Amino acid sequence: MKHLSKKLLLYACLAMPLVGVAEPNVSHSHTNLLAKEKSPYLLQHAHNPVNWFPWGEEAFAKAKKEGKPIFLSVGYATCHWCHVMEEECFKDEEVGALLNRYFVSIKVDREERPDLDAVYMRVAGYLGGGNGWPLTVVMTPDGKPYFAGTFFPKHRKYGIEGLMTVLPRIYRQVRYSSSITDEAIARVERRLAPRPAMKLPDPGEIEVDLDETCSVMVGMVDPFSGGTGRGMKFPRSHQLLYMLEHARRTGNKAALAAVKLTLDNIRHGGIYDQIGFGIHRYTVDGVWFVPHFEKMLYNQAQVALAAARYYALTGDKKMRAMAEEIYRYVLRDLTSPEGAFYSAEDADSEGEEGLFYLWTYDELQKHLSPEEFKLFSSVFAVEKEGNWIDRTSNERQPNNILRILPEGQKVLGELPPEQTATMETIRKRLLEIRAKRPRPLLDDKVLADWNGLMIASMAESGRLLADAALVEAARKAYSFIAAKLYQDRRLLHRWRDGDAAIPGMLSDHTFLAWGAIELYRCTQDVQYLDHACSLMDSVIDDFQADDGGFNMTSKHAEKLLFKPSNFSDMALPSGNSVALLVLTALARYTGLEKYEKERQELDVLFALSLPRSIDRRTISTMAMEEQKAKSFEVVVVSPGDAKDAAAMREPFRAASSQNVYLHLKTTSNAKALAKLAPFTRDYKAIDRKTTAYICTNFACQAPTTDPRKAEEMLKVDK
């Protein structure tokens, strides 16, 4: 890339174009087995001179038969250094010849196989090979890892040893039974050896100080720019969701201020697409300015939900607008014709990172009138020489990243209505002009877990913002997943190009269950509650870990070096933390002991690890906040009058709290509802009028047929 130094690229992990199935008229010198795959990342490597195998028995059988070590490379389609390693090594005839002669080479897409990525990333840590992608692991013919690293050039570069010298050395080590290899294998095996299960305290024996927990989390927030840390900034919005839940329960003003500071800086920063909306992946600085321009579905889901919840709690219309803008981007650019959500948009176009989003001074002058340009440049800090400096070379770049500095925010705040309309006219015009540029390519994988996260986000926000279109979009996406990613009653992980594959993992089940819960909350369609229960029943039956919590893969999955599990919320929430969130809801919705028992056991595990990892336990701590908050279990029984039923349920449906668990019982759904929530069986309409039964904090109020009295009972924030 022209305008970013090599060192800055090392920080940025820039995205590269996705390559689909090769064009039929293009002739290739090489074609390997990856050409039969659906993964965009694997297809990128289908014409390397390396004889790549996809992960599977065929590769391991070949390695054992020929006595060759296994060269495993793990990456993903939008990873810059994965692409650089392909250009320097995997497209190179010499490297290909070396790998083909002495190794069996396997390529894995970490987004398709997060379980394999988790296993070998942990192994790499044990071997001192670092963390990151591309991940390189070398194993004996029978699959015992003994070497690991990340990026390798062909020859020594960036202070990194070249693959042409690494490969012969690590081949000789295993070929001639080197003590180095033996010790490395033994080190991994020692670390992976089963440990005695820890005896957990009873749920009542452990108490979490949630006020102190939130205080620590707020203390981690950058007081100048928001977000956590002072270096690269990632929009880990699950931390914002936790602080919002604590603020809702306690009125904590510091938590609320930390969320506002972060969301405001994201909205005004270069990380936010000021013309087309949506969030870029992260910034390489601490002020949300210079982004890695890739757009990930999971970031859109979490940031938009945080903004919608902030609006519901405070009435801040700017946060409402932010949520609506992000969803507008998703529905426009990340949604399939059938309604499913795609995974990501690339950072690169025409071989240059960020080119699609950057603007030169002259270009803006060309497309705007003098008055428009003056207004636009005063808001977005546009400069003739470019408005940003490469922090490693200290050189000004010849283009502009659009962000709104405090001076620009002041200008926007003082604009009369006609100039506010002018700004929107300018934005739309620039969006049309930008649309004529070559677009970053689209990662059109449909992942069950990432879709579940967006479904949950859109459904809840649709309820909070009273936006029926968002709820309908969530329903449409859920219908796609239900139709395409279930096979023999088992959930699958990935759909692309008509092909559904890869057994569903923990996050697929828990994230989709979260989506189903939120759809039930705003539609009262019992099928969603049924699906949420079925998904979590599968988790309880198939994913239990020996040492507590849930494994990433089910008991039916292929046998790996070990069963990976994850409790940390990072770019994505962990499957276990979302499991706690969903189990908390299902225990309240159904009244069933099995969900409460599993919730309590998981709650204890998170409580024990919380002091060490507060910033990575935020979704689970959010569930703990919900347990502490005043909750309402409500059954509205309707004898058939839809208008009366709508009036009775409206205050509960629109409540900002997640702690309102409402069932709408009708003559048509009574039997199905009683099967899922047996306690609803005996609730009846009084005098053939729509009747509300309201319980809170383990005490039930007298039923009422008056919507005003029902609303009066709803004192969520008291």
- Band (pLDDT 50/70/90 cuts) for residue 83 is confident
Note whether residue 50 is domain-resident.
yes
Report if residue 661 sits inside a domain: yes
On the question of pLDDT at 78 being above 60, the answer is: yes
User: What local confidence, expressed as pLDDT, does residue 392 receive?
Assistant: 53
Instruction: Let me know whether 134 and 185 are in one domain.
Output: yes
Is position 244 within any domain? no
Ramachandran bin of 381, using left for φ above 0, alpha for ψ from -120 to 50, beta for the remaining angles: left
Phi-psi region of 79 (alpha: psi -120 to 50; beta: other; left: phi over 0): beta
Which residues are within 8 A (CB) of 428 and not within 5 positions of it... i.e. 6 or more apart? none
Q: Residue 640's domain spans which residues?
A: 632-713
Q: Does residue 411 register a pLDDT over 80?
A: yes
**Regarding beta strands 691-696 and 632-637, do their DSSP bridges make them parallel or antiparallel, or are they unpaired?**
antiparallel
Helix (H/G/I), strand (E/B), else coil: 490: strand
Residue 356 has φ and ψ, to the nearest 5°, of -60, -30
pLDDT in tens, 416-465: 999 999 999 999 999 999 999 999 989 999 999 999 999 999 999 999 99
* Tens-place pLDDT, residues 279-293: 999 998 999 999 989
Inside any domain, residue 624 = no
Q: Is the dihedral of CA 248, 250, 251, 255 positive or negative?
A: negative
Question: pLDDT: is 81 or 453 the higher one?
Answer: 453
Check whether residue 141 and residue 67 sit in a common domain: yes
Query: Would you give the DSSP letter of residue 90?
Result: I
pLDDT tens profile 621-660: 999 999 998 889 999 999 887 788 888 888 887 776 778 9
Reported residue count of the chain is 718
For residues 397 and 551, give the distance between their C-alpha atoms in angstroms, rounded to a whole number.
Answer: 47
Same domain, 549 and 522: yes
Tokens of 267: 């909205």
Q: How far apart are CA 494 and CA 133, in angstroms?
A: 21
pLDDT value at residue 2: 36
Query: What CA–CA distance (Å, rounded) separates 167 from 616?
Result: 37
Give yes or no: residues 48 and 145 share one domain: yes
CB-based burial of residue 409 (10 Å sphere; 0-12 exposed, 13-18 middle, 19+ buried)? middle
Residue 92: give its domain's CATH number: 3.40.30.10
**Residue 513 forms part of a structural domain:** yes
Nearest to 89 by CA among 165, 28, 2, 32: 165
Give the whole-angstrom CA distance, residue 369 versus residue 380: 16
552 and 581, same domain (yes or no)? yes
Q: Are 302 and 455 in contact (CB under 8 A)?
A: no
Closest-CA residue to 517 (of 663, 628, 700): 663
The candidate with the shortest Cα–Cα distance to 552, out of 227, 72, 110, 104, is 110
467 and 411, same domain (yes or no):
no
Mean pLDDT to the nearest integer, 55-61:
97
pLDDT score of 10: 34
Task: Show the tokens assigned to 179.
Answer: 């003590």
Q: Are residues 362 and 477 in the same domain?
A: no
Specify the pLDDT at position 216. 97
Burial class (CB in 10 A: 0-12, 13-18, 19+), 484: middle
Is the per-residue pLDDT at 21 higher than 60? no
Residues 40 and 126 in one domain: yes
Cβ atoms of 555 and 111 within 8 Å: the answer is: no
Pick the closest to residue 654 from 467, 526, 453 (CA basis): 467
CA 551, 553, 555, 558 torsion-angle sign: negative
Q: How many CB atoms lie within 10 A of CB 329?
A: 19
CA-to-CA distance for 51 and 173, rounded, in angstroms?
Answer: 22
The CA distance from 456 to 327, in Å, is 13
How far is the C-alpha of 108 from the C-alpha of 634, rounded, in Å? 48
Residues near 248 by beta carbon (within 8 Å), at least 6 away in sequence = 313, 629, 656, 657, 717
Per-residue pLDDT for 166 more than 80?
Answer: yes
pTM here is 0.93
Q: Would residue 27 count as lying in a domain?
A: yes
Among 76-90, 472-486, 664-678, whose mean pLDDT is lowest? 76-90
Structural domain ending residue among the three candidates 192, 208, 241:
192
Examine the domain organization and report whether 552 and 455 are in the same domain: yes
- Kindly report the average pLDDT of the chain as a whole number: 91
Same domain, 547 and 693: no
Per DSSP, 107 falls in state E
CATH number for the domain spanning 488: value is: 1.50.10.20
Among residues 177, 192, 207, the one where a domain terminates is: 192
If asked whether residues 401 and 524 sit together in one domain, one would say no
pLDDT band at residue 581 using 50, 70 and 90 as cut-offs: very high
Domain count, the chain: 4
Predicted confidence at residue 711, as pLDDT, reads 86
Q: Predicted confidence band at 391 (pLDDT cuts at 50, 70, 90)?
A: low
**Domain boundary residue among 159, 192, 225?**
192
| DSSP for residue 160 | B
CA distances from 465 to 301, 309, 469 (A): 15, 9, 10
Arithmetic mean of pLDDT, 171-181: 89
Looking up residue 686, the CATH number of its domain turns out to be 3.40.30
For residues 402 and 466, state if they share a domain. no
Distance CA 208, CA 169 (A): 52
Q: What pLDDT was estimated at residue 393?
A: 64
Within a domain: residue 314?
Answer: no
Domain assignment present for 623? no
Main-chain dihedrals φ then ψ at residue 691, nearest 5 degrees: -125, 135
Distance CA 666, CA 645 (A): 9
Burial class (CB in 10 A: 0-12, 13-18, 19+), 616: buried
pLDDT of residue 715: 65
Question: What backbone phi and psi angles, to 5 degrees, belong to 662?
Answer: -105, 135
Q: Is the pLDDT of residue 18 over 60?
A: no
Taking the C-alpha atoms of residue 226 and residue 235, their distance in angstroms, rounded to an integer, is: 10
